Chains A and B, each alone.
Chain A
């Protein structure tokens, strides 16, 4: 795994194009395709175009949340506040929109702003107060959970039980420009995030901070600003996912964000992003999200019980990590 020996040898073009990090992304997509094939063998019609589209649609919500998670994990952080930022944004959007299409824009704006604010507060606590990311985001999750439940009286307030505006529901359950809306949103996010990480100064700073905060600081990178921005982005993506999910599922419910904590972290890690930061990409996370969702769908198609799904989840993550998530040996 040592990169120095590979660079000292004359690298072939293929070697260069397929550095270890890119290879992981490739493996991810190959695994996803393999899972589709297995699913189709076990249950014919699994990999039909509508079947694939359905699975991708479900993956898109994981993928959206995992976009933010990728950002913070790239600097060696983690965002445990994702479940309730997502949930809180969904509740806010539904309550502010109050079931009418004319209020939808304000509702979405308020929901998204809420997500960004939560994320920024996380970032400030971590970079200025020096609270460990695990503790800060864990606390934030509780804070938003308590506020959401308390203020809405357990989601029984007038506005929050209303269905989301029909315009949003129609958009999220229908198609825009010929493809499912959630997929379209995801595609846009994939393009923007990948471009940001690969081709902008900000992206380079993210990797730089992830590799060494101290060196980045000495090189003139405003480490605190980058940290705050990334947690803000994580809040933003969780909020977007929450709003999209509320439209897709026809309302905001208590606990709707809970599954996304485990899945977003798993998607990032399966996608080959290094948990201590500095290495990884969003395309890998995309592959991770698809692999994870497809795997669950295969199991569901086999009528596997809940407990089997949990066990397989865990085993798959560990096996994938054993294959390529290992740290270099201590020598």
Chain B
């Protein structure tokens, strides 16, 4: 996979050393623009199909439904993006969501104090899981894909131990935080997440993450604490996955120890569609949020296009490949133009 990075960056004539920084800025923003365009296109397609089949304009209920479904994926995708930016990958996201989802369904009830306490505990469980990932990657020097493959299995096992069969529920007052059928209030979380990213991106840590992802050796030479940066990134990703698991428990108002599994791959898909490069160092969490909404909208688009739900994975897979293939080709064309 690393070799592929070289292949996509500079084929043919060696690129002059003069303006790599400017080209990188262009590349970064281009992918975000592509992701945004994709989101708008998807939104238009959704509205057209919706009006075609229901003869009405989608209202706040629809907006709320889409947002409620997109929030867990957005959280997971932002965590995934952080890891991918450091040239890693986090396959344990699904397992961590299983675990936090199970814990949330069992514990998030019985008054404000207990609910608040358990929210913190669940986030800390996520942080602990992320810490394990981070330590094994940074100090154990094992490839991220393998570390998280192993911890995925461990987290899935722990989730089944916590909640052997689907059940439990989240207190009604708590679900209101993420789930509101009448208005897309959950959009607040998404906006907060995006704003947090924009602020975070310019912090020392934010810059270090990009440095590590772009060139680890160079980052180390410039006294970036590479190992520490990686550990923090995995801890953040673990916490975001735990948050995503809580959000998932509220939107489904119950727990399922396998309910988070699909998010491992869909979080990667969302990040990639959002323009986060799997080769590290390029992308934005805002793009990943766009990607999460695109994927959520895609399900509704397929529904209103009267496509047999059994075919759904086909279109999702095709969409992923075509979107990424097209943007890769587009990137190549842009590079060649310069």
Contact = CB atoms under 8 A, between A and B. Distances in A.
A330 B220 contact: yes
Given A134-B89, A146-B311, A154-B310, A325 B321 contact: no
A153 B269 CA distance: 26
A213 B8 CA distance: 12
Interface residues of B, number: 58
Contacts of A327: 141-143
B3 A150 contact: no
Interface string B279-318: 1000000000000000000000000000010111111111
Interface string B302-338: 0000001011111111111100110011001000000
Interface in A104-142: 125-126, 129-136, 138-142
A187 interface: no
Contact of B329 (A129, A145, A330): A129
Interface string A292-331: 0000000000000111111111110110011001111110
Contact of B136 (A153, A318, A329): A318
A265 interface: yes
B3 A212 contact: yes
Given A143-B314, A153-B310, A131 B328 contact: yes
A275 interface: yes
A15 interface: no
A100 to B, nearest CB: 27
Given A76-B1, A78-B145, A318-B136, A311 B314 contact: no
A144 B318 CA distance: 10
B146 A314 contact: no
Pick the most buried of B7, B89, B268: most chain A CB atoms within 10 A of its CB.
B7
Contacts of B308: 150
A161 to B, nearest CB: 16
Interface of A is mostly: helix
A130 B332 contact: yes
A146 B312 contact: yes
Contacts of B154: 310-311, 313-315, 318
B317 A143 contact: yes
Nearest to B152: A314
A314 to B, nearest CB: 3
A277 interface: yes
B59 interface: no
Contacts of A307: 156-161, 164
B214 interface: no
A305 B151 CA distance: 18
B151 A318 contact: yes
B153 A213 contact: no
Contact of A143 (B4, B145, B321): B321
B288 to A, nearest CB: 14
A325 B145 CA distance: 12
B1 A321 contact: no
A314 B1 CA distance: 23
Contacts of A150: 308, 310-311, 314
A325 B157 contact: no
B231 interface: no
Interface in A3-53: none
A230 interface: no
A75 B151 CA distance: 25
Nearest to A136: B321
A269 interface: yes
Nearest to A213: B3
Contacts of B85: none
A16 to B, nearest CB: 27
7 contacts: A130-B328, A134-B89, A139-B320, A142-B317, A153-B310, A328-B141, A330-B217
Interface of B: 1-4, 6-8, 89, 136, 140-143, 145-147, 149-161, 164, 216-217, 220, 226, 265, 268-269, 272, 278-279, 308, 310-321, 324-325, 328-329, 332
Given A146-B312, A314-B153, A318-B142, 13 more contacts: A78-B1, A129-B328, A130-B325, A138-B269, A139-B321, A140-B317, A145-B314, A149-B313, A262-B149, A262-B153, A277-B3, A322-B136, A327-B143
